[in-house]
Amino acid sequence: MKILKILLKLIIAIIAVVVIFFGYLTLTEFKPGDIESADIEVSTEGIEKDIHLDESITAVTWNIGYAGLGAESDFFMDGGKDVKSADEDTVKKYLAGISETIDKQDADLYMLQEIDRDSSRSYNIAEGDVLRRRNYAFALNYSCPFVPFPLPPIGKVNSGVMTTTDIAIEEASRISLPNPFKWPIRIANLKRCMLVSYMPIEDTDSKLVVVNFHLEAYDSGEGKIAQTKKLIEFVEKEYKKGNYVIAGGDWNQTFPGSLDVYPNNHKDLWEVGLIDTSRIPKGWNLVYDVNTPTCRLLNQPYDSVDKENTQYYVIDGFLCSPNVNIENVKTIDEGFENSDHNPVRMQVRLLSAKEQ
C-alpha cells in the first residue's frame, strides 16, 4: 500500500511538472501580429548604393542552416540522428565560411534565412552581426524559450530571416504567413513570415520591394500551399502599385523540371513539395537554376560520392514581377560545406516605363 501511495505521488508530480511546463510555453508563446514593423539597422560606415532604372542589380538568396548544418551534419527531421549537429567550434567554422562566400558574391542584395540570434543550437552567436552588410532588416520566424523535443531537446531558439544590403532600406515589415499547426505543436514551432523591405528607386516614385521568406518544411503540404498563395497575393498588390518586386528564399517546394534532374529516391524520408505554377501570375518569372542542386537531404553527413543515399533538391530561388528583366541566374556550388543549402545568385535589370 505504501509503495502504491509513493507511485501515485510520483505520477501526480510528473503530471504537475508537465502541466506547468506546457503552461509556461503556452504563456510565453511567440505570437506575432499579422503585420509588424521589422527590425532595421543602418550603418554610417561604407557607401550607400542608389538604385536606378536600367542598371543591373544582383541578389543572392541563401538558407545558411543557422551555421549548424554543414558537410559533417545530419538532422533528425530528415532521417538523421543529430539534434545539435555541430559543436561551437564547428558552428564558428561554418559561419566564417558562409561569411567568406557572401563576401565573394559582392551582390547588392542578400536574402538570408535561418539566421540565429541567442539560440542554444548555435551557442548564442549573433549571426546577423557577422553576416550583415551596411544595412539590414530582420524578422523573427522562430522564437521559443525552450523547444522540448526530441531527446536531447533543441532548447532555446531565436531565429529569423534577414535582408542585408548597401542600399537604403526606407521601411521594413514582418508579415505573418498562415500557420498549419495547432496547439500544442504550435507553441514550440516556427511562425513563418515574409520580411518585406522597401527601397527607393532614384528619380521615380516607385519602390523596389524585396520579399524574403522561408516557407513551411515539415507539414503535410497544406501549409506550403496556403503560404505560397498569400505570398503571391501580396506581391501582386505591390506590383499593381507601380513597384518592382523581387521575392526570394527557401520555398521548400521544388521548381519545374528539377525532379527530372534530381528525382526523389527517398520517399520514406522528407519529401519535397511542388510549386503550383498555375498560381504564378501572367508575366511573372520564377527564377532558378537546375544545373546545381540548391539543397541536400540531411539524412547523413554529406558524401558527394554516395549517390544512392544522397538526395538533392532545387527549392531555393526567386519570383520577379514583369517589370524586372532577368539577365542571369546561377546556383553557387559550395559543395554543401557550410550549409545544407547552396546560395542562388540572380542578376536583373529594372525596366523603365518605355520598356514595359
pLDDT digits (tens, 9 = 90+) for 251-278: 999 999 999 999 998 888 888 889 999 9
Write out the DSSP string of 106-150. Answer: --SEEEEEEEESS-GGGTT--HHHHH--SEEEEEEEEEEEEE--T
What's at 326, amino acid-wise? Answer: I
Contact present, 230 and 178 (Cβ < 8 Å):
yes
Contact present, 201 and 169 (Cβ < 8 Å):
no
User: Which residues are bridge partners to 197 per DSSP?
Assistant: 172, 210
| Nearest C-alpha neighbor of 120 from the set 82, 63, 78, 68 | 68
Residue 301, preceding peptide bond in cis (omega within 30° of 0):
no
Contact present, 202 and 52 (Cβ < 8 Å):
yes
Work out the average pLDDT over 218-224.
Answer: 89
> CB pairs under 8 A, 24+ apart, for 123-126?
123/88, 123/91, 125/67, 125/91, 125/92, 125/95
Contact present, 111 and 61 (Cβ < 8 Å):
yes
Question: What is the per-residue pLDDT for 12?
Answer: 80
User: Cell 520555398 identifies what position?
Assistant: 251
Q: Please say if the pLDDT value at position 23 is more than 90.
A: no
Question: What is the per-residue pLDDT for 272?
Answer: 87
Q: How many helices (H) and strands (E) would you count in the chain? A: 5, 18
Write out the DSSP string of 203-267. Answer: TSS-EEEEEEEE---SSSSHHHHHHHHHHHHHHHHHHHTT-EEEEEEE-SEEPTTHHHHS----T
Residue 32, preceding peptide bond in cis (omega within 30° of 0):
no
Mean pLDDT estimate for the chain: 93
User: Which residues are bridge partners to 329 per DSSP?
Assistant: 346
Sheet holding 39-42, edge to edge: 39-42, 135-147, 155-165, 109-116, 56-63, 344-350, 324-331
**Residue 268 falls in which region: left (phi positive, over 0), alpha (psi -120 to 50) or beta:** alpha
Question: What is the per-residue pLDDT for 220?
Answer: 84
Residues 6+ apart with CB under 8 A from 245: 208, 209, 211, 235, 238, 239, 319, 320, 321, 324
Question: What is the per-residue pLDDT for 11?
Answer: 79
Separation of alpha carbons 331 and 339, rounded Å = 14
HSE-CB for 25 with a 13 A CA cutoff: 22
Angstrom distances, CA of residue 338 to CA of 83, 159, 204, 292, 312 = 17, 18, 40, 16, 16
For residue 352, which phi and psi values (nearest 5 degrees)?
-75, 170
Q: Strand 344-350 to strand 56-63: parallel, antiparallel, or no bridges (unpaired)?
A: antiparallel
pLDDT digits (tens, 9 = 90+) for 289-330: 999 999 999 999 999 999 889 999 999 999 999 999 999 999
Cell of 75: 538532422
pLDDT digits (tens, 9 = 90+) for 58-90: 999 999 999 999 999 999 999 999 888 789 999
Domain spanning 34-350: which superfamily? Endonuclease/exonuclease/phosphatase (3.60.10.10)
Question: pLDDT-derived band of residue 8, with 50, 70 and 90 as boundaries?
Answer: confident
Q: Please say if the pLDDT value at position 149 is more than 90.
A: no
Contact present, 78 and 297 (Cβ < 8 Å):
yes
